[in-house]
Structure 1
């Protein structure tokens, strides 16, 4: 019997039980209700639960449907098959995978292990376009993304390698990189199988391959499930679509529910093309449109409708509001992002205080995880309880940084950054300014910071060193799981009365518990459970950028939700606030996709609707249609940050390195040059220093009667390597070969002639400030022209891109005002390509550079050290564990 509460369109969808069916379900039109009622109707018609397969896109959706089915289906049932695509495929392979060589004991590989396997592939193959000795791992993420897309498009390693062979004669760097990627893909897959591991995309890929190669298995599966239903079909990729077609069976009792207006997962391989593909594969499919919206008020639907109507490729549908009118969609504006966040927080507080919305009925939906931070801080300032729902950045949460600082300092008590972070905890309560003074003193006196803390007349400092000595002793006999629990217990980390409210306390506890679970999972998979091995695993996690989601809180927690639009899919709230509606944030700028899947290997042509702006529009549409009662859109102008005051000494002199550091991030400048915290050696920096030393020694040995020979250059290079204690021994051989090749090309090109000046220091007066630096070399040409040359080991840039380069500006100011060089030209010499790029710096550009230096000096004198969070820069920063503003 069909429930009478359904609309006519919903009843039609529920009543259709024979043959293919496409349900075009707009936002808030009750698609889950239809799926549950359709399931109940099939059961009422005598279909066993074991014969109904209902696939969803997320585990949360599967649980929701399963809970509602079990609540409303009163008939006796055996096992219910309501699960995600990947869960179904994983189960299928455990039963049938042996037929294609998949062991029953396979495990799903972690993101970190995927990165490590691809790293090993590149180190073994060393493909010239994908592996660079200076930056050996920078393209691993691109490669893994390409492998993911290949599997989603059902492209086998052999198929990709065959394509590479067909393109062997094509002289194009992009094609060359793709050819190398084909062999990396093949090797990577072999390594996965050796370890009896699959990734999530493998489960679909191997399932489809097995069904295609074993018709009897496909027939058995189609007989097993008499009826198939699929939720959120617009979010499926090509491989998932093919899986559905292969198990549909001769009766073709397939029902898919989708809405092209809500297709927002292109970055996961999803395509609205699958809705069109369904209609071509099942041309006789009935189509039912659900257009009565039971969620949103009229003004919200009209605003969302006007937005999505700009997409000319969408399927025809017009949502009708059944809940009448309400508050109009409003807009808040601010001059900068901090004021925008404060305005949003104030609006939220007013809505709560006036009783319009409960806190957990309010959601702030952001375009990206990186945008959450300012709004969390604003909520803290105004005293509104909030929770970050499903956001990435688990390892950047303050409590996780604290826990890992304990572990890292236990393993390495010379880690000043970790010690500085721990000193600020309430258990030790050392003033950060005092800690900074101790750090500078240790640096000036050449002493260990840890030893100085042990001698300090400060209870907190001595308590920390005693704790760490005790933990170091326990680390010798305990595994990391037991050690972590002991550290938490002995420091009473979670008992400290330092949280601003019960919500924060719950979130901190949940995150720490999740870290304990992740450590337990590590111990389950690794034989070596010592602290040092776990920290190596953490380093790989960091290198792979394999972050975790923040631990979820119970859905009943009464706090405002901060989340991305993607995480809000399928949810609804009374009040929805959508910030940052400005070009470059929302819609976001299109990013390059790196290594692209060759067009020849695509199984279907993507429609125009796959354009970046169209997906951004759909994303905004999803955000608006999460709201039941009220929508507020916000935007701001120039981006600014708060400017905290800190303890900093007066300055009379700066180096170019200091100026450059301040411009990149004033907070980094404070840690490095005010607190004088040590930095870790980096392979690229050491490699550059070795090359500079070799050039200085070889060029300095040139005499009039003793011309430079290659043997002299090579001897200087070998000696420079011998003097350097290289921090990454595994990279040293390839870097040694690379650097020798750089020098040989420069020598053969005749570019290693005797200079006028070599490694020339300078001291330049700028507005009462002394700016110091060093010029790599100065040449004087036959025409009287002076040329300042700086050696670079990175990739060459165009002269037009270097017009505002501050380093060249500083060199020009020094050359003209200190050394009186005239005429003058400025050049970068790129050792990688033996290319000299000369840049013109007119007087107006030099004045801009001078003013930039003055502004930096003024900022340092005023003790202004705001952080400038940036995901890429923060991930490489030595002080990210200490910095509270590090981008996630």
Structure 2
């Protein structure tokens, strides 16, 4: 390793990265460099000889985040660390140990819980639509990640689901489990439960796991569920080399079983837990941070984000006559930002529900502004991208007749890439943007890159879900925006019934909605605008309570606007 992993860290980051033994709790606010701390801490442990990379497990929640951890560790000269999601780590152990314990191959993983539920429902004479089946699947997932039996579930949620009372709901869950067993299959949650059960009941498996991994790091610890927490305890055994990193203010998956108490109470598990607070923000303007801090003031585990940089203009909140006017108003703001030289890739519009994207897409398309809805098909799974990768791989076996970039450009042109982009909106523009993104990757590659090396790099990026930047405005739900950032963020729909959502009726549910709003605010680096509509259809809406809590001291009032109708397409 050529450079000191602790160099260029601030004092708090260095404290966290240099504490290599014992339980460590890093309370890392948004934009404070938590991934940097995780990777540099592991690199420092390897560099000093405290860690053997093959005995380190770094656990996170998404394949993309795990790929980013591996990439950053490689850049620091560290190879061999197991950077995986909980499910990937558990599945690998299950596949390895199951044949030794059961003298048989491990069960297959079902590819669709809803499809299997449909078969189970048919078997007991239930006729349910796809939406209800998806709701049942969500209930099964919650029951399993919270480690509850079907009997426990029936007692905790006696009301069942809309259109499906508790007795047939319980019957369907039993039929689902029976059919799954008959087909010798496991679902996603069973992987965690089966791995935990195997370690707990088989001493030789526990011994092997404990000998393999000695040092654990868990990212996004506020999102750990009871079954994940139990599995982590079993992986750890009686060792005390666990580093957890998280932010209670960004707990937005309680509905899926996440429990922030594991993070909030981590310091109490031992007398000598090292707790480090990362509150210096390297992402956002001070005016944005002021909004975030006011929103979470007094909440459990809230961190006070600071930056030494001077504050820009206060974020503006604007009310509109209705949702159509709000979509047009936001689109007009984005058009002005693009006219002033902003890159579309640096702009995002965030909202609570997927349905809010439709009028916004129409308003942007009418202005000729390309947009991508986050959370759709993954970039590397797009047919245009898969086609391009196959063509590039095929061309890489023959000698190049021209330069590397010229060859890539010619191949992409043969597949449909043109010099001029098609009009915004529709599949043709989406396909063009995907091919253009592949070309930009080639243009950004090192000068000595070969076509074979480029295709290998694309394959590695696809495996790690490391997606390139699209030159489009991003539209995303608040859940999908977690972990991302943009220079300019427009947070819309800040009205009662949308944020907080109408079905958030308990204190805990409203608190989760507040954290969702906080996640949205802290995605903004330079500018933040907030908006809400006074009417949705024939229904009047009120300004969100969260805007009232933030207060006028950190927000500028943009006044009420009633722009109706989309501008003509250019």
Match status 1:36 vs 2:21: no
Match of 2:528 in 1: 631
CA distance in structure 2 between the aligned counterparts of 1:510 and 1:211, rounded to whole angstroms: 47
The equivalent position to 2:491 in structure 1, one of 578, 603, 624, is 578
TM-superposed deviation, 1:185: 3.0
TM-superposed deviation, 1:509: 6.8
Match status 1:359 vs 2:340: no
Deviations 1:262-306 (A, max 9, x none): 001123221212214534544542211111111111111111111
TM-superposed deviation, 1:638: 1.8
Match status 1:95 vs 2:96: yes
Match of 2:365 in 1: 380
Alpha-carbon contact 2:368-2:424 (below 8 Å) kept:
no
Match of 1:507 in 2: 430
CA distance in structure 1 between the aligned counterparts of 2:84 and 2:311, rounded to whole angstroms: 37
Match status 1:346 vs 2:332: yes
In structure 2, the residue corresponding to 1:65 is in which secondary structure?
helix
Name stretches of at least 5 consecutive residues in structure 1 with no aligned partner: 401-491, 513-551, 593-607, 642-865, 867-888
Match of 1:71 in 2: 75
TM-superposed deviation, 1:80: 2.8
Deviations 1:712-742 (A, max 9, x none): xxxxxxxxxxxxxxxxxxxxxxxxxxxxxxx
Which protein shows a greater Rg?
Answer: 1
Match status 1:239 vs 2:227: yes
Alpha-carbon contact 2:352-2:478 (below 8 Å) kept:
yes
CA distance in structure 1 between the aligned counterparts of 2:48 and 2:283, rounded to whole angstroms: 31
Match of 1:468 in 2: none
The equivalent position to 1:16 in structure 2, one of 6, 11, 19, is 19
In structure 1, the residue corresponding to 2:21 is in which secondary structure?
coil
Match status 1:144 vs 2:132: no
What are the residue-to-residue correspondences of 1:512-531 with 2, within 5 Å? none
Deviations 1:15-40 (A, max 9, x none): 11111111110111110110011010
CA distance in structure 2 between the aligned counterparts of 1:507 and 1:50, rounded to whole angstroms: 42
CA distance in structure 2 between the aligned counterparts of 1:199 and 1:326, rounded to whole angstroms: 49
CA distance in structure 1 between the aligned counterparts of 2:333 and 2:56, rounded to whole angstroms: 47
- Residues 392, 370 of structure 1: alpha-carbon distance in 2 compared, 3 angstrom cutoff: farther
Alpha-carbon contact 1:227-1:253 (below 8 Å) kept:
yes
TM-superposed deviation, 1:555: 2.8
CA distance in structure 2 between the aligned counterparts of 1:44 and 1:110, rounded to whole angstroms: 41
Alpha-carbon contact 1:369-1:391 (below 8 Å) kept:
no
Match of 1:476 in 2: none
Match of 1:329 in 2: 315
When normalised by structure 1's length, the TM-score is: 0.49
TM-superposed deviation, 1:577: 0.4
- Residues 136, 558 of structure 1: alpha-carbon distance in 2 compared, 3 angstrom cutoff: closer
CA distance in structure 2 between the aligned counterparts of 1:184 and 1:218, rounded to whole angstroms: 34
Alpha-carbon contact 2:5-2:76 (below 8 Å) kept:
no
CA distance in structure 1 between the aligned counterparts of 2:123 and 2:427, rounded to whole angstroms: 47
Match of 1:124 in 2: 123
TM-superposed deviation, 1:145: 1.9
TM-superposed deviation, 1:367: 0.9
- Residues 560, 493 of structure 1: alpha-carbon distance in 2 compared, 3 angstrom cutoff: closer
In structure 1, the residue corresponding to 2:487 is in which secondary structure?
strand
CA distance in structure 2 between the aligned counterparts of 1:103 and 1:330, rounded to whole angstroms: 62
CA distance in structure 2 between the aligned counterparts of 1:187 and 1:240, rounded to whole angstroms: 26
CA distance in structure 1 between the aligned counterparts of 2:421 and 2:271, rounded to whole angstroms: 63
In structure 1, the residue corresponding to 2:197 is in which secondary structure?
helix
Match status 1:558 vs 2:546: no
- Residues 371, 391 of structure 1: alpha-carbon distance in 2 compared, 3 angstrom cutoff: farther
Match of 2:514 in 1: 617
- Residues 205, 322 of structure 1: alpha-carbon distance in 2 compared, 3 angstrom cutoff: farther
Alpha-carbon contact 2:315-2:527 (below 8 Å) kept:
yes
TM-superposed deviation, 1:392: 7.8
CA distance in structure 2 between the aligned counterparts of 1:55 and 1:284, rounded to whole angstroms: 23
Alpha-carbon contact 2:353-2:477 (below 8 Å) kept:
yes
Alpha-carbon contact 1:338-1:640 (below 8 Å) kept:
no
Alpha-carbon contact 2:345-2:474 (below 8 Å) kept:
yes
- Residues 95, 153 of structure 1: alpha-carbon distance in 2 compared, 3 angstrom cutoff: same
When normalised by structure 2's length, the TM-score is: 0.75
CA RMSD of aligned residues (A): 3.5
TM-superposed deviation, 1:177: 4.9
TM-superposed deviation, 1:503: 9.0
Match status 1:270 vs 2:258: yes
Deviations 1:736-790 (A, max 9, x none): xxxxxxxxxxxxxxxxxxxxxxxxxxxxxxxxxxxxxxxxxxxxxxxxxxxxxxx
Considering Cα pairs closer than 8 Å and 6+ residues apart, tell me whether 1 or 2 has the greater RCO. 2
The equivalent position to 2:278 in structure 1, one of 262, 272, 290, is 290
CA distance in structure 1 between the aligned counterparts of 2:174 and 2:147, rounded to whole angstroms: 14
- Residues 633, 267 of structure 1: alpha-carbon distance in 2 compared, 3 angstrom cutoff: same
Match of 1:773 in 2: none
Alpha-carbon contact 1:151-1:201 (below 8 Å) kept:
yes
Match of 2:150 in 1: 160
